[in-house]
C-alpha cells in the first residue's frame, strides 16, 4: 500500500474549509502571516505551496518579506507588530534566520498563542508534556495524521524513529508516545541500526540522506514513513528511503514526493484554526 499524502491533505482541507465557514459566520477571518527574511529558494517554494493552500481553504495569508541584512532589533519590532495585530491569528517564521538574528532570542518573542509551527518554548514544553493546548510542529504532525488516516494502529506498537532533530525526530517521538506507541529513537551514533529497524512495526526516517533505508533494514510487512526530501544523483527529488528497493516487502510506505511533504502545509492551517478558536 502506498500512503499518499494528498488524500490526507484533502480530507483535512475539507474539515478546515467547514471550520473556516463557521468562523466566518461568527465574524472571525483566520489569517496567517509568513515572515520571510531574504529570498531563500526553499522558503519561496514552501511559501508558494502555503499561499495556494490558503486560497483553497478560504484563509487569508500574507507574507512579510524582510531584507536579508535586517538587524535583530528591527526584526523584533516587525515581529512585535504582528504579535499584537489582533487580525492575525498565526505566524510562521522561516528558519534558519540570517546570522545576525539569534533564533534563541526570537523564539521567546513570538506570541505563543500565534506560534502555529511550535517555535516558542511554551509550545515545545507543552509538546513534551503531552499538553494538547499547544501547537505541535507541522512535519511530525503530518506523520501522525497520515498514520491515523490510513488506520495504522500506534498503540503498543514498536515504532523506530531514525533522526533526533528538533524539527522532526524529538517532537515526533513525543507525539508517538502520546499515541501510546513504544518509541525507539535512533541516530548517527546508534549501533546495529539494522537489527533495531528489523524488529520495528513502523520505521520513520528523518535523516536527510538520499535513499538511505533499503531492504536490508526492514523485515516483511513493516510500515515505512519517509520524512526526507533530497535530490538524487540525476537531480530528481527523493526521500531517505530507497522506495523501489523496499516497495515489494513493506506493507505500506509513503512516497517522496507526494507523502509527508504533501500534508505539512495543511497542518499549518489546521493549527491556525486552532489558534482562532482559542
Cβ of residue 181: shortest distance to a second copy, in angstroms? 8
- Closer residue to a second copy, CB minimum distance, 185 or 252: 185
Cβ of residue 17: shortest distance to a second copy, in angstroms? 33
Q: Interhelix angle for 261-277 vs 5-25, to 10°? A: 20
Cβ of residue 154: shortest distance to a second copy, in angstroms? 10
Degrees to nearest 5, angle at CA 17 with 262 and 10: 30
- Closer residue to a second copy, CB minimum distance, 53 or 164: 164
Distances (CA, A) of 130 to 21, 81, 139, 142, 155: 30, 30, 17, 17, 15
* Cell numbers for 175: 507525539
- Closer residue to a second copy, CB minimum distance, 31 or 164: 164
Cβ of residue 155: shortest distance to a second copy, in angstroms? 6
- Closer residue to a second copy, CB minimum distance, 124 or 275: 124
* Cell numbers for 244: 523501489
What DSSP line would sit under 72-141, residue for residue? HHHHHHHHHHHHH-TT--EEEE-SSPPTTS-HHHHHHHS-GGG-TT--SHHHHHHHHHT-TTS---HHHH
- Closer residue to a second copy, CB minimum distance, 130 or 257: 130
Residues engaged in binding a second copy (CB under 8 A): 104, 108, 121-122, 124-129, 131, 155-158, 164, 166, 170, 173-174, 177, 180, 182-187, 189-191, 196
Cβ of residue 275: shortest distance to a second copy, in angstroms? 18
Half-sphere exposure of 191 (CA within 13 A, CB side): 0
- Closer residue to a second copy, CB minimum distance, 66 or 275: 275
Q: Is the dihedral of CA 63, 67, 71, 73 positive or negative?
A: negative
Cβ of residue 88: shortest distance to a second copy, in angstroms? 23
Amino acid at each position: 500500500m502506498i500512503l499518499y499524502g494528498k488524500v490526507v491533505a484533502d480530507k483535512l482541507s475539507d474539515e478546515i474549509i467547514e471550520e473556516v465557514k463557521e468562523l466566518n459566520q461568527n465574524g472571525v477571518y483566520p489569517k496567517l502571516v509568513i515572515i520571510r527574511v531574504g529570498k531563500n529558494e526553499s522558503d519561496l517554494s514552501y511559501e508558494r505551496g502555503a499561499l495556494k493552500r490558503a486560497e483553497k481553504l478560504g484563509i487569508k495569508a500574507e507574507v512579510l518579506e524582510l531584507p536579508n541584512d535586517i538587524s535583530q532589533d528591527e526584526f523584533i519590532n516587525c515581529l512585535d507588530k504582528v504579535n499584537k495585530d489582533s487580525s492575525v491569528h498565526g505566524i510562521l517564521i522561516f528558519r534558519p534566520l540570517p546570522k545576525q538574528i539569534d533564533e534563541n532570542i526570537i523564539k521567546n518573542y513570538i506570541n505563543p498563542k500565534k506560534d502555529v509551527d511550535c517555535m516558542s518554548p511554551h509550545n515545545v514544553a507543552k509538546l513534551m508534556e503531552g499538553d494538547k493546548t499547544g501547537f505541535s510542529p507541522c512535519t511530525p504532525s503530518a506523520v501522525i495524521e497520515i498514520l491515523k488516516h490510513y488506520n495504522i494502529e500506534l498503540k503498543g506498537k514498536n515504532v523506530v524513529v531514525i533522526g533526533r532533530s528538533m524539527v522532526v525526530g524529538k517532537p515526533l517521538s513525543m507525539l508517538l508516545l502520546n499515541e501510546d506507541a513504544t518509541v525507539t529513537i535512533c541516530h548517527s551514533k546508534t549501533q546495529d541500526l539494522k537489527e533495531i529497524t528489523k524488529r520495528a512495526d513502523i520505521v520513520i526516517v528523518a535523516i536527510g540522506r538520499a535513499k538511505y533505508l533499503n531492504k536490508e533494514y526492514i523485515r516483511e510487512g513493516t510500515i515505512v514513513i519517509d520524512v526526507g526530501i533530497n535530490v538524487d544523483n540525476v537531480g530528481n527529488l527523493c526521500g531517505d528511503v530507497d522506495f523501489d528497493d523496499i516497495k515489494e516487502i513493506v506493507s505500506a510506505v509513503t512516497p517522496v514526493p507526494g507523502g509527508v511533504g504533501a500534508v505539512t502545509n495543511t497542518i499549518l492551517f489546521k493549527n491556525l484554526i486552532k489558534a482562532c478558536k482559542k
